[in-house]
Amino acid sequence: MAAPDKKILAELKKLRAEIDRHNRLYYVDDNPAISDAEYDRLFDHLLEIERQFPELVTPDSPSQRVGAPVSKKFAVVQHRVPMLSLQKVTSEEEFEQFDRRVREGLETSGEIEYITEPKLDGLAVELVYEHGLFVLGSTRGDGRSGENITVNLRTLRTVPLRLSEETAKRCPLLEVRGEVIMKKSAFAHLNDALEANNLPPLANPRNAAAGSLRQLDSSVTASRPLMFYAYGISDTDLESLDRHQRVMELLRHEGFLINDLIAPTTGTEAVGRAFETLQSAREQLDYEIDGMVVKVDRFNQQTILGQISRAPRWAVAWKFAAETAPTVVEEIEFSVGRTGVVTPVATFEPVKVSGVYVSRATLHNADRIQELDIRKGDTVTVRRAGDVIPEVVDVDKSKRVKGTRPVEFRKKCPSCEEPITRSEGEAAHRCLNPACPAQLERRLFHFASKSGFDIEGLGGKLARQLIDEKLVRNPADLFFLTKEQLLPLDLMAEKKAQNLLNAIDQSRTTPLPRLIYALGIPSVGEAAAGLLAGQFETFEKFETTSTEELTAVDGIGPIIAACIGDFFANEGNQSMLKRMREGGVQFPVFQSLAATGKLAGKTFVITGTLSQPRGYFKNLIEEHGGRVASAVSAKTNYLLGGADAGSKLAKARKLGTTIINESGLEQLLNNTND
């Protein structure tokens, strides 16, 4: 077969650009310039050329959006910069409190410049562009890692496969974040098509979008009417992009779909008006939203405000009031959590709320039961708090059946029948029995989870058997189990028992952050556990740290500090930790490169165009113990500069900061005397 000549190459380049232009006109601008038949002719011509010259097929070709089967499970992707969640407010007063905290953090009494935009109800994803080429796409996941769904995201016409040369040069590494959604009208058409083919309809647009995007066969994703709306980028230190508004203008210029309702808004009164306007327009929009996102516009102010363990201090989600629906209470039950809290739960006839059928809702505590005066058989109003957690908000007493009796809060634990107590000043009732089966089952499940000791094979059913047979009285007992004890259990064959013991053995060297999380200390989630491990480095130092030292850790507040203090003051917990050590758990030192690397204690700022994406050098510096900051200050030790370094270079010279190039960084890393 003859090699393609210059004419073919030029035609191919022109054809791809033309198809990309029409994709943007159709999917992003909603302004098609040609008929579907004309578009099909262009696309068929592209396919014909690529069939003749397969060596010319590139990842950014429009033909690569079509979709093909992928692997049977998604690989895990670590986000270079965590994808944080947002704190929520639900009233004007709560937003004013957020604004007050922002002004206090910035030490200003003036009005803050915000950006407001609809909070889309879809699946958050990240798109990574290296030198202008889309190379990686992933879900948000837990914020620190997600699923690699690059092949599926490539099928979306609203995801540009290549950026302009100007932007590729300006931003060699660009991580674009946004939401994949399915419009209401498209969702209705999809369900009609599914039902016409005797297939079950999908529950709601959000579930439809998330499920479509996580298909193992990307041709299914390609067939679904999905759209990607960009809402930001990961970095806030790119040259000349000093505020969120300018980033959105750049993304719009590059062909990303940007919500038309995004707007700069200054001060709390203007933000309040924007919220009311958006709430009034909600039903007329062709996509689901559950509130409004408010962000501080200026990136230097975002940097000053920083973040807590899982959320930025410079942004908030102002949520709409939840949708409600009536139903009838069938029973009021009581459940026991892993910390011993006894929670009343109402079960009722299934009812659809915010697109999801629910049949259970928390009643929170005894005070809430008394406040509602809820009874079995009552007609109640149910909502999903934050459009997620079902709760009862009202009782229609006009429909109450005669003869019903008020609910009496249990005096004994529904699991172990031990007395339950309510401490002064606390809303919750607790079972204080450390051997309570319900608590222990949930603690075991938490302890053995992937985010904890990652003991594969230890599910809820097996946990219950281990407790019932009195083989495990607290998580530490897992490290003393034998095959002879396991084999008599239901469905426990030789191989399954050995696999479980192998998993337990491997878990004895669990890294410190996961070990801290696994202990189930109230209020200490994965993010807080990581902060604590990085700060104290050894478990011994962590468990003997005072409340004052804990609250000094950025992201650890007084509530978390108090929970940690209470945990270690408990004799039962101390006994469990002692038994864990006797069982071979190693309580490893957290390997902090900041203390051991060649760049330990040094702060770098990176600027200009380098031979590799900026993220490459950031990771390289951090791998050797250094820290990378976004702005030059008196605390900056080195400025790593490339071509077109700009204002950061000028500031570094003014402050007397040591300026190095890539060769200089290599010399630092090769210097054995450091």
Half-sphere exposure of 19 (CA within 13 A, CB side): 24
Q: In angstroms, rounded to a whole number, what is the distance separating the alpha carbons of residues 274 and 259?
A: 15
Q: In angstroms, rounded to a whole number, what is the distance separating the alpha carbons of residues 359 and 198?
A: 27
**Cα separation values, 439 from 108, 416, 557, 625, Å:** 48, 10, 26, 41
Alpha helices, H only, 422-490: 437-447, 460-468, 483-486
User: Which listed residue (7, 72, 119, 470) is catalytic?
Assistant: 119
* Lookup: tokens for 285: 């929009």
Question: 177 and 247 in contact (C-beta within 8 Å)?
Answer: no
> Strand runs (DSSP E) across 547-657, as ranges?
603-607, 627-629, 638-641
Question: 392 and 375 in contact (C-beta within 8 Å)?
Answer: no
Beta carbons within 8 Å of 270's beta carbon, 6+ residues apart:
none
Q: In angstroms, rounded to a whole number, what is the distance separating the alpha carbons of residues 95 and 291?
A: 13
The question of whether 119 is a catalytic residue gets the answer yes
Burial pattern 203-239, b for ≥16 Cβ within 10 A else e, equals ebbbebbbbbbebeebebbbbbbbbbbbbbbbbbbbe
Per-residue DSSP letters for 29-89? Answer: SS---S-HHHHHHHHHHHHHHHHH-GGG--TTSGGGGS--B--SSPPEEE-SS-----EEE
Q: In angstroms, rounded to a whole number, what is the distance separating the alpha carbons of residues 149 and 138?
A: 5
Q: In angstroms, rounded to a whole number, what is the distance separating the alpha carbons of residues 303 and 366?
A: 43
Phi/psi class of residue 484: alpha, beta or left (left: φ > 0; alpha: ψ in -120 to 50)? alpha
Question: 343 and 337 in contact (C-beta within 8 Å)?
Answer: yes
Residue with tokens 């109230």: 522
**Cα separation values, 459 from 105, 408, 448, 464, 473, Å:** 45, 33, 8, 9, 16
Residue 361: burial class (beta carbons within 10 Å; 0-12, 13-18, 19+): buried
* Lookup: tokens for 59: 């990842």
Q: In angstroms, rounded to a whole number, what is the distance separating the alpha carbons of residues 473 and 463?
A: 11
Phi, psi of 602 (to 5 degrees): -100, 140
Q: In angstroms, rounded to a whole number, what is the distance separating the alpha carbons of residues 215 and 123?
A: 13
Positions marked catalytic: 119
